[in-house]
Amino acid sequence: MNGLSGRSESDFADYVERLVDVIGHADRAEPLKDYCLGLMLPVERKSVEPLAAVTAPARVSSKHQSLLHFVGQAPWSDEALLRRIGDLVLPLIERHGPIEAWIVDDTGFPKKGRHSVGVARQYCGQLGKQDNCQVAVSLSIANVAASLPIAYRLYLPEIWADDAERRRKAKIPDSVAFQTKPAIALEQIRAAQAAGVAPGVVLADAGYGVDGAFRAGLSALGLDYVVGVQPTLSVWRPGEGPLPPEPWRGKGRPTSLMRRSPEHSPISAKALAQELPQDAWQIIGWREGTNTDLNSRFAAVRVRPASRDYKLTEPRAEEWLLIEWPEGDAEPLKYWLSTLPAAASLAKLVSTAKLRWRIERDYQELKQELGLGHYEGRGWRGFHHHASLCIAAYGFLISQRETIPPSAPPETKNRPQSGLPQGYRPRGAPDPTRATRVEFDRHNPKALDRRTQSQPPAMSMLLPDEGSIKSTNL
């Protein structure tokens, strides 16, 4: 098998065989194998035609048609495939400790035009600004050793959800209606819980944490969370809460709503952080970096979120407000709300919040190594099929990291070579004899698509992590 060692080839064949029965017909086994293999090979552009060329150089045209139908049209279930991938890979991850977190996130794919399903002008993390892009919401399970996406769905903007003609052309299922990203994430979490996935603390950035309904939904499901929030979050100082309802004076309807007064009001999370005494802050480290341990200055206090609590009859429960304020910075950097137990240590709060970095690695490998954003079709089914197959390939890479320890001889760590025909150039690719300008190349890889300041280093395909986080080696 092109690009895999003998042992890896056997493992890969076994892995694919265990996926075949959830995608239906047996004649889909070959395109499943070839598509996943192509994604793992160092092909610059991992759209359908280059994958056909690298996996079947002697019959590119017929293989292209086969893969195009398999990924764009064949009616197999993405959910069933992701469940099976989880069944195969989660036990490997859990050898290194129980699942600690369920990580919610979204990622964007810059797109030109308006015809690819879900494309609209919206925030794109890869670009760091509003632009034309598609956005997908995912749920990953993680411990300190590894992580794996177990759910993945395109966010469909309202302009798409309400446009019958665009829905028809993209073949969007009738059951798909407009949902906010937090609502999609909650649906994914409910499905994971119903499927019996090992529970973990839910982690999410402020795009989800600011949504009170999202946080309430997690609590209703019995799940703890550590979620980012904005510095403008309204909270009561430690030990405080809203005033009780006004006592009834015998006239009119008695009120049962909590209240505030000019002398007794909540403050912003940022204002509270600035009030904390110097001894409230501690330097906490959370993992090894490339050259040094990663640490920063943190404080955590028990507060009651105050947003619109004057419409409630009972005060909200106390939660942790975790704050990161690096030494030397003029103001705090990040804020989180958490429902971890009141007895949780500051180190536990920090290590749990910072475990969200694992999603950075998921998206880095899925995009840079496995071509998650390279699908060129326009339809709903193809968008999700391509992503599911990228996750299938990623699952196999996770399973292989055990078999190539960091001390393995250098020759076992060489990247596989592709079998592209000499001189092959896919349709639409630039002429290699002409000079190009990188800034105008829409396929030029950008910075890692996240909204954090620390970016994990790139990882190689089929290799163990040789970089900063030794504990990630499976």
The reply to whether 200 falls in a domain is no
> What tens-digit pLDDT sequence spans the chain (474 residues)?
445 666 688 899 999 999 999 998 888 999 999 999 999 998 889 999 999 999 999 999 999 999 999 999 999 999 999 999 999 999 999 998 999 999 999 999 999 888 999 999 998 888 888 899 999 999 999 998 899 999 999 999 999 999 999 999 999 999 999 999 999 999 999 999 999 999 999 999 999 999 999 999 999 999 999 999 999 999 999 999 888 887 777 676 777 787 888 888 899 999 999 999 999 999 999 887 667 788 999 999 999 998 887 777 788 889 999 999 999 999 999 999 999 999 999 999 999 999 998 888 889 899 999 999 999 999 999 999 999 999 999 999 999 875 444 433 333 333 344 444 444 444 434 444 433 333 323 233 333 333 333 443 343 444 333 333 233 333
**Which residue range forms the structural domain that includes residue 269?**
225-242+258-353
Query: How many helices (H) and strands (E) would you count in the chain?
Result: 14, 12
The reply to whether 262 falls in a domain is yes
Query: Domains in the chain: how many in total?
Result: 1
Cβ-based neighbours of 19, under 8 Å, separated by 6 or more = 32, 81, 84, 85, 88, 392
Q: How many Å apart are CA 273 and CA 87, to the nearest integer?
A: 43
Query: Residue 101 to residues 82, 332, 360, 364: CA-CA distances in angstroms?
Result: 18, 25, 14, 19
The reply to whether 387 falls in a domain is no
SS3 13: helix
**295 residue type, one letter:** N
The reply to whether 470 falls in a domain is no
The reply to whether 265 falls in a domain is yes
Beta strand 101-110 pairing with 201-204: parallel
Rounded to 10 deg, the angle between the 78-94 and 380-400 helix axes is 20
The reply to whether 365 falls in a domain is no
**132 residue type, one letter:** N
For residue 255, the model assigns a pLDDT of 75
**117 residue type, one letter:** V
For residue 468, the model assigns a pLDDT of 31
Which candidate, 149, 150, 144, places its Cα nearest to that of 96? 144
Q: How many Å apart are CA 189 and CA 373, to the nearest integer?
A: 24
Backbone dihedral region for residue 351 (phi beyond 0: left; psi -120 to 50: alpha; all else: beta)? alpha
Backbone dihedral region for residue 429 (phi beyond 0: left; psi -120 to 50: alpha; all else: beta)? beta
Cα angle at 232 between 230 and 233, to 5 degrees?
A: 75
The reply to whether 336 falls in a domain is yes
Q: How many Å apart are CA 353 and CA 369, to the nearest integer?
A: 26
Alpha-carbon torsion, ordered 440, 363, 325, 354, to 10 deg? -170
The reply to whether 346 falls in a domain is yes
According to the 3-state scheme, what is the secondary structure of 72-136? HCCCCCHHHHHHHHHHHHHHHHHCCCCCCEEEEEEEEEECCCCCCCCCEEEEECCCCEEEEEEEE
Cβ-based neighbours of 362, under 8 Å, separated by 6 or more = 138, 140, 147, 148, 149, 394
For residue 337, the model assigns a pLDDT of 98
